[in-house]
Structure formats: structure tokens, C-alpha cells
Structure 1
Amino acid sequence: MRTVMWSKWASNLLLFAVMAIVALMVYWQHKLISLEEQQKSFGDKLGKVSQTGAIRGVQNGENTLHTYEAMDNGPTDDVRDNTVIIYNRIPKTGSTSLMGIAYELCTKNGFHVIHLNTTKNSHVLTPEDQLRFAQNVSGWLERRPAIYHGHLGYIDFASLGVFLRPLYINVVRDPLERLVSYYYFLRYGDNFRPEVVRKRKGNKETFDQCVLRQGADCDPVNLWMQIPFFCGHHSVCWEPGSSWALQQAKSNLAKSYFLVGTTESMDEFVTLLEASLPRFFRGALNLFNQEGKSHLRKTFGKIPPSKETIKAIHKSKVWQMEQDFYMFAKKNFNAIKKRALPSNGSAPITPQFRFEKIRPK
């Protein structure tokens, strides 16, 4: 009896051991196949890079920074495909021209463009909407890579507890030129949507005449636009003449913006965008230089202000502060151009760093 029970127990133990061995074999075979597939996928990508010469000198233990560009042949799991750009556009700085290019390139280059439409064209959001916006942008993985654009003050994602760090870009313009352009835009519109009836349609008063009678539309307080856009959503940012807002705007530009260009150097701004963010802006300069593209939106009826008008505006504290910020941004952009573009500004300078002495080999 004991012999029969022992024999049965031994048979069950042997059967269990065989089943365990089979299960382990199946598991490790699956892991091996998965590893081979990963190696093949990586090898394919590495082959694409090698074909373009992107990893010249790897055998010598050195590398260059062209790897991203070489692997950018379509949607992949690469970290670049999670890039989010926010362009918080300042009115009348040439942003329509730039976004027109982005919309033309998005399908070809494989990214998304999303416009942020705010109620009553407000430039600020409530705290609730700021958080909702940041969370939506962070979680909308199906719409990456992406450019979000709209007339909105800077939003600090880190202060909202969101881990995404978007790349902020922007364009600034001479403050008085921007105000004059907006003044006539309200009266005559532009060639982008000429059929739209503007707020001041029929008002023939020139900017000079408005300044002479100290009208509301030409009040220097209306210059207060670029500083608050860079300053952000704090209430003090939108108080004309705030010294704190000016310093905060400069700080945000220096710390949180990837690139800030100027309206008068838009072609060089586009050149730098194409060189540094090719997934988004590959082909942008060619589009920009096409006839009719570089001045996509032109204000009708604009008359340059007189010397007397300019002198009067320059006495304003708001103009002086906006001009200070504009020159701060312009100086930085000019320094970037000097480092990144050759003297003729035709194409970016080749990469100026590489990886080397990589160990172990």
C-alpha cells in the first residue's frame, strides 16, 4: 500500500517538475524573441543614422549631435516626438505669418498645430483654467509632437505641479511700431481677412491726430503688451508701468524661453527655428521666402508717425519700460544670431560640439 502511494506521489512530483520546466522554456523563449525584436528595431534606426553619416567616428569613441535628425523619418517612440512648443503670440508682431507656415508644414513634417481660443479674446486665464490647460497639454499624448499657439500670457507649468516642460518661443517688435500697426488695423483691417469689419471702421483719424488730442486709442498705456505677455498671469504683470513686471518678464525670457526673435529679423528667426527644431520647421525658410509668404498679413492704411509724435510717445514711462524690454530681447537674439549664423545669415553654422572619449567602447 505504501509502495503504491509513494509511486503515485513520485509520478505527480515528476509531472509538476516537467510542467515547470516547460513553462520556464516558453517564458525564456518569449523573452529572447522580444529581445531580438528590440535589437532589430534599434539596429534599423542605427542603420538609418549611419547611412546619413550621423555617427561619424563612433569607432573612434566619438559622436556628433546629428543623431536626432537622422532618425527623424516619421513617427517613432523617440523622445523628440513628445516635444510640445507653446507660442504665446503677441498681437501685431508677425505671428500670423509664422503660424501660416506651421500649418502648411504640419502634415508633411508629422506634427500637430493647435490654436488656443479664449473667451472674449482674454490674454489671461483663471487659476482653474491654467491648471486645466497645463494638464490637457501634458496628457494629450495623441497630439504630440505639437505646437500650441494663442494670444496668452506666459504660464509656468512647474508652478502648477505639471512635469511637462514645453518649449516656449515668441517674437517681439518695436513697441511704437506695434502700437501704430494695431491702431490702423482697428480702422482699416489687413489683407489677411479684408472682409472683416473692424472696431473702428470709418474712423479716418491718423495716429498723429490722435496723439495731438490725447485720444484713448493712442494712449501710451496701450503700449503695455509685450512685458505682460512674458511676465505671466500675476495681476501685477498687467499693471502698466510696473517695475516688478518688467523684471519678471526679463527673467522669464532668460530662463523659460527657448528662442525669442524680432519682427524685423523674422527670416533669421525662421532660419534658427528650422535649424534647431527640424521636426517642426523643416522647409520653413523656403516657404517664408516664397512671394507673398513673408508678408502674409499687411495692415492697410498705415501712416508712419511724425517726429513730433514719436518724441511725445518717448516721454512716456510705459514706452521707456517696453522699449527697455524690447532691447533686452533684441540684444539676446542678436547674440544668438552671431553665434549660430554666418555673417550672411544664409544657413546655420555646423554643430559646435561633439561627444568623444566614450568608455567602455
Structure 2
Amino acid sequence: MQVRGWDFLRANKRPLIFLFLLTKFMFILFCVLSLKTLDSINRFDWDATRRIDSEPSALNRTPNHPLMLIYNRIPRSGGTTLKSLLTELGHIRGFIHRSSKELDYRQLTYEEEKMFVHDLMSEKKLFFFPFSFDRTIYYINFTRFRVYRPAYINFLRDPAARAASLFYSQQMSNQLLADPDSRVMLKDSVQDVFGECVLHGLPECKFQDGQSYETAVAYFCGSDPECLILNSRAALQRAKRVLETEYSVVGILELMKESLKVMEAYVPKYLTGILALYKHQDVTEKVKKSLPHPEPSLRALKVLKRQFRSDYELYEFALQRLMLQLKSVQGNSTLK
């Protein structure tokens, strides 16, 4: 039988070679067409985006088996608290949490994004346990690099409150450089320095449409230069679409307990028990605000709401989505 088999192969050598080459050609053609399709999807049409508005929903966008959890934290928006919770929860639930020490480099090029994804996936392979990661960085589309998307989470803060916090944090840094003993003086100040700065239109508190600034929109829109243009309609629409379709949960800092309740229901593999841990640790006392400061005046708040129109619209969008998700959690014992 074995000899007859070899005879068959010799007799049909040419047809078999032809069949092999044809199969190989079809496979290569399929790969090329697939790559072209993915590339066309990943090329973002900014003009079309301006005409498309997203609607918030309670749909669970968490992948069925997420390879990792990504928290691309926004400065002055509860990052210290959530990092503390993720680290402690990892010890309890048996997953590895790593927090990047890179704080300033957030806008990556295509090649840098590719390297970032490659390095993160390589690091994930080192662990046999679930893996979570946080870094101050703009949104990255993992599927653009032929990698399954992770479970994304984040937190948003009232834009005016975040702007004030950033202002006082920078003021403190500047004063400490000039006079290490100035910390007490600024910390105990009750003057609305930021509000006055906004009302007088000083350079560090003046935000103009069309100029490039880092706002919360960029953390969902991505690293494209358009994403940093203040009040760009296209950037806002893209951020809303990404928030709705790519993020499992985007919490609201002013609604921490409600946000954590939704997070543990929508991302149970990683976040089950995070609300109880938050209550037990009393993180609001354990992780205190480093620099208490007065709230902006009503006049200043009115100016800030006009200057940060896109951020406020994104904030309201995330709030509506969170409330829909919370309603779904309260109305269902399990989430699919």
C-alpha cells in the first residue's frame, strides 16, 4: 500500500504542485485583502465624524475574555485612588497590576503606539495571571495592531474642578521650586486665585478655540493632532464614539461609589469587590487631596463652561451612560 501511495504521488506530481501553489496564492490574497480592510477601517474620516453623533447606552462593551485591563488615567481625576484600589484588589483577586511611572509622555506616534502595544503584550505573556495596567496616556486602538482589544476603564471629573486642581497643583510646584516653605502659605489660602485668573483672562487661564490644549477629550479621542484642538467638534464626536464603543465603564469622580458599583458588575473578572474595598479602606481619608483649594466663583465657572464646551459635553455624555449602566445593574442580577 505504501508503494502504491508513492506511485500515486509521482503520477500526480504536477497537479498537486499546482494545487499547493493555488492554495498558497489564495491564502496570501486573503491576508492582503484583510489588511487593506483593517487599514481602511483604522483611517479615520474626520469630515464624516463631524456629521455623526453617538448616543450613550447601557451595553456591556467588555470583551468576553479580556487579555488585560487598561486604565489610561486622566490627571487630577481620581487616579491615585483608583491605582490604590487596583493594586490592593490585585492582591486579593490574584491578578497583577502595574502602574507606569511615565507621567508626561502621552501623545504617541503610530510607531510608538505599535511599540507600546507590543511591549505590553510581551509583558502580559510573562504572567500566568490576569494583568491590569495604568498610565497617563491617550487612547490607543489595540486592534489597529492586530491585537485583541483590552477592557478599558477611566474616570472623568467636572472640567472646571479639574482645571482648578491642575492650576493650583502647578502653582504649588512653581512656589516650591522658588521657596520650599511656601507650601503652607498656598495651602491655607482662601482666595479664589484661579477664578480671578480666569476672569482677568491671564495667559495661564485663557483657553481659546482652535488652539492646542490637553483636555479630557484627548484621552478618548487619541493622539491625532486634531484630538488636542480645543472644542473641535470632530475630536469630541470621536471621543464620544470611542467612549461608548470601546470603554467598559467611564466613571464620574463626583459619583465614586456608583461608578465602582457599575465597574465591578461590568468587569467582574478584575473588579469584583472593588466597591467593598473602597468602603472598607476609606480611601477618601487614606488618599487625601494633596492641595485643598477654593471652588471657582460662579462668574468664573460661567467662563470656564464656555471655554470647555467639549469637555462638558463629554462629561454629560459619560454621566448619562453611567446612569443607564447603573439602572441596568440595579435591574439585573447578572450582566452579559
TM-score normalised per structure 2? 0.69
User: Does residue 68 of structure 2 align to residue 84 of structure 1?
Assistant: yes
- The alignment partner of 1:251 has SS state of helix
CA distance in 1, matches of 2:177, 2:224: 30
CA distance in 1, matches of 2:106, 2:178: 18
Partner of 2:228: 238
**Which of 135, 142, 162 in structure 1 is aligned with 2:126?**
142
- Asked if 2 retains the 8 angstrom alpha-carbon contact of 1:181 and 1:299, the reply is no
CA distance in 2, matches of 1:171, 1:291: 20
CA distance in 2, matches of 1:178, 1:265: 15
**Which of 128, 141, 157 in structure 2 is aligned with 1:156?**
141
Q: Deviations over 1:255-295 (max 9, x none)?
A: 11111111011112212222333342233222211364135
**Which of 99, 102, 113 in structure 2 is aligned with 1:115?**
99
Partner of 1:341: 330
User: Does residue 158 of structure 2 align to residue 174 of structure 1?
Assistant: yes
User: Does residue 299 of structure 2 align to residue 308 of structure 1?
Assistant: yes
CA distance in 2, matches of 1:180, 1:210: 10
Equivalent position amino acid for 2:110 in 1? P
Q: Deviations over 1:240-266 (max 9, x none)?
A: 221111111011111111111110111
The CA deviation at 1:233 is: 1.4
CA distance in 1, matches of 2:263, 2:335: 17
- Asked if 1 retains the 8 angstrom alpha-carbon contact of 2:266 and 2:335, the reply is no
Partner of 1:49: none
Describe the shift of the 1:134–1:200 C-alpha distance in structure 2 as closer, same or farther (beyond 3 A): farther
Equivalent position amino acid for 2:204 in 1? D
Alignment of 1:24-35 (within 5 A): none
- Asked if 2 retains the 8 angstrom alpha-carbon contact of 1:85 and 1:168, the reply is yes
Describe the shift of the 1:254–1:352 C-alpha distance in structure 2 as closer, same or farther (beyond 3 A): closer
Partner of 2:261: 271
Describe the shift of the 1:324–1:127 C-alpha distance in structure 2 as closer, same or farther (beyond 3 A): same
Equivalent position amino acid for 2:295 in 1? P
CA distance in 2, matches of 1:275, 1:248: 26
Equivalent position amino acid for 1:241 in 2? N
TM-score normalised per structure 1? 0.65
Equivalent position amino acid for 1:288 in 2? Y
Q: Deviations over 1:79-100 (max 9, x none)?
A: 85x6301111011111210110
- Asked if 2 retains the 8 angstrom alpha-carbon contact of 1:188 and 1:299, the reply is no
Could you say which structure has the greater relative contact order, defined with CA pairs below 8 angstroms and 6 or more residues apart?
Answer: 2
CA distance in 1, matches of 2:283, 2:317: 28
**Which of 111, 131, 139 in structure 1 is aligned with 2:114?**
131
- The alignment partner of 1:241 has SS state of coil
Mean Cα displacement is larger for which, 273-282 or 235-244? 273-282
The CA deviation at 1:188 is: 4.2
Describe the shift of the 1:331–1:311 C-alpha distance in structure 2 as closer, same or farther (beyond 3 A): same
CA distance in 2, matches of 1:278, 1:335: 18
CA distance in 1, matches of 2:257, 2:203: 34
CA distance in 1, matches of 2:263, 2:277: 13
Q: Deviations over 1:25-71 (max 9, x none)?
A: xxxxxxxxxxxxxxxxxxxxxxxxxxxxxxxxxxxxxxxxxxxxxxx
The CA deviation at 1:213 is: 2.7
Of structures 1 and 2, the larger Rg is shown by 1
Partner of 2:284: 294
The CA deviation at 1:198 is: 7.1
The CA deviation at 1:336 is: 0.7
Describe the shift of the 1:242–1:164 C-alpha distance in structure 2 as closer, same or farther (beyond 3 A): same
Partner of 2:198: 211
CA distance in 1, matches of 2:289, 2:170: 13
CA distance in 1, matches of 2:200, 2:247: 39
User: Does residue 154 of structure 2 align to residue 165 of structure 1?
Assistant: no
The number of residues matched between the two structures is 258
CA distance in 2, matches of 1:109, 1:337: 23
Describe the shift of the 1:341–1:224 C-alpha distance in structure 2 as closer, same or farther (beyond 3 A): farther
CA distance in 2, matches of 1:84, 1:287: 21
